[in-house]
Amino acid sequence: MVLLLRLSFDDSFGYSDQVKYCLIILITGCLAGWGYAQTKSSASIGDAHVESVSLADAELDEVLAFISSKSEELLKQSVNFILVGEGSGSKRLSLDLKDVPLSVLLKYACELTNCVAEIVPDGVLVGSKKDVMRAKSDWNEAKVVTGRGSAASQLSLITIPSLQLKEAAVSEVISFLQSHVDELKKGGGQARHPNFLLIDNPYAPVSDLPVSLELKNARLSSVIRFISAAAGPELSYRIDRGSVVFGHKADLKMAPKPQVKASPSGYAWMKSKLIPEVSVSGASLEETLQLIRHYSEGRFNVVNQVTKTNEIVNLTIKNVSLASFLAYVCEQTNTNFRVENRAIIIIDGKRRPKRESSARVVKGGATPDTKGKPVFDE
């Protein structure tokens, strides 16, 4: 069957008045491959021919949104495009083509904006070659604890039907994922609740970095990668046994290493002591240590030997051990701890590097516009 459509774009699609499209799309049969390994959402668009395409001063992100919407309309399977690199989506292009597949439209759109497109699980990265390779490198370098019951094993089982982020701050995105993860879990039968944490550095904060993403039917394990890629090189992540931890790559490598030689049996008890749920918001280190004392059930005294820390604790976590909870508290406050026979000693951590923040800002040079809160569609 041959279907002939004539399409014109108006404000209902969210495109600017400067972008003028006049498209006649001829669809003939099923769509074939790009010549790449297929992934869950990177549907083939090779045989979907556009009879004529005329673009005048169009932005790249608008062209990608069009290709994605057409793929969903014609194939019933969307393609997730993830723009990496500051300003990639706002690059403009003009072209006039006849009788070309959507895949060729994507090819020319990338060439005219000095970008590359590369298929990854659940999506396609688009940006400069340097930015795309950097994003893939970050994924390969991220520390991931796998195995039965790990956060990584849970993330791959959770699918987000729809996620829309428009310059939402990293801190907002993490809070959103934390609050909605139970809704996203199918059937509620998973053994562990993946936690989402942010380790920020006052000398180079990443909490306000803007993230813009439009995703459909992406596994949560891929969404984590896309958030890191979209926020830029300042933001990285690691996946622990029960948590996903976001932060600057250098800070994540400075995770506290507890000194437990004095009492390995005491530390083993802390690792077995499960905390069902705990939430700390804007608390000082000393206030948070009161919780540690409470959860230690009188087995340990908690002694604070930190010389100076003004950092506050913001943690909302479920189903973690007392040892993990204490480690995350220390990581947020740049401290460390050791375990003795009947005492937990809080000590100074390694000095954080003071570096200039390269955090991006949104239009106008002000703080990131976070009015576009994350939107989740079930």
CATH class for domain 264-348?
Answer: alpha beta
Tell me the three state secondary structure of residue 190. coil
- Amino acid identity for residue 363 in this structure: K
pLDDT in tens, 82-141: 999 988 889 999 988 888 788 888 999 999 999 999 988 899 999 999 999 999 888 877
Residue environment code for 159-172, b if the CB has 16+ CB neighbours within 10 A, otherwise e: bbeebbbbbbbbbb
- Crossing angle of helices 322-333 and 285-295, rounded to 10°: 170
Q: How confident is the model at residue 35 (pLDDT cuts 50, 70, 90)?
A: very low
CB burial string 180-219: b at 16+ within 10 A, e below: bbeebbeeeebebbbbbbbbbbeebbbbbbbbbbbbbbbb
Element at 346 (helix H, strand E): strand 343-348
Amino acid letter, residue 295: Y
- Scanning the chain, the segments in alpha helix (DSSP H) are 60-75, 102-112, 129-141, 151-155, 170-184, 220-231, 249-252, 264-272, 285-295, 322-333
**Nearest-5° Cα angle at 80, 25 to 205:** 140
Structure tokens at 369: 């516009």
Dist. CA 120–CA 92, nearest whole Å? 24
Return the DSSP state at 352: P
Per-residue pLDDT band for 7 (boundaries 50, 70, 90) equals: very low
**Secondary structure letter of residue 29 according to DSSP:** S
Give the least confident one: 10-24, 88-102, 136-150, 249-263: 10-24
Beta bridge pairs of residue 116: 127
pLDDT score of 189? 45
Fold match between domain 142-250 and domain 264-348 = yes
Considering the domain 142-250 in this protein, what is its CATH number?
A: 3.55.50.30
Q: How many CA atoms lie within 13 A of 41 on its CB side?
A: 27
Read off the pTM: 0.78
Round to whole Å and give the CA distance between 377 and 88: 27
CB of 107 closer than 8 Å to CB of 95: no
- Alpha-carbon distance of 68 to 122, in angstroms, equals 13
Amino acid at 35: G
The pLDDT > 70 percentage for the chain reads 76
Terminal Cα distance for the chain, rounded: 33
| pLDDT per residue as tens digits for the range 146-191 | 766 677 878 888 888 889 999 999 999 998 888 877 666 654 444 4
pLDDT tens across 266-299, in order? Answer: 999 999 999 999 999 999 999 999 999 999 999 9
Question: What does the alpha-carbon distance between residue 277 and residue 164 come to, in Å, rounded to a whole number?
Answer: 28
CA gap 70, 90 in Å, rounded:
21
**pLDDT band per the 50, 70, 90 thresholds, residue 328:** very high
CB 95 within 8 A of CB 63: no
Map out the domains of the chain as residue ranges.
2-118, 142-250, 264-348
Please tell me the number of Cα atoms within 13 Å of 248 on its side-chain side.
23
Amino acid at 185: K
Summarised one tens digit per residue, pLDDT across range 196-239 is: 999 988 778 899 999 999 999 899 999 999 999 999 988 999 99
Least confident of 43-57, 58-72, 164-178, 279-293: 43-57
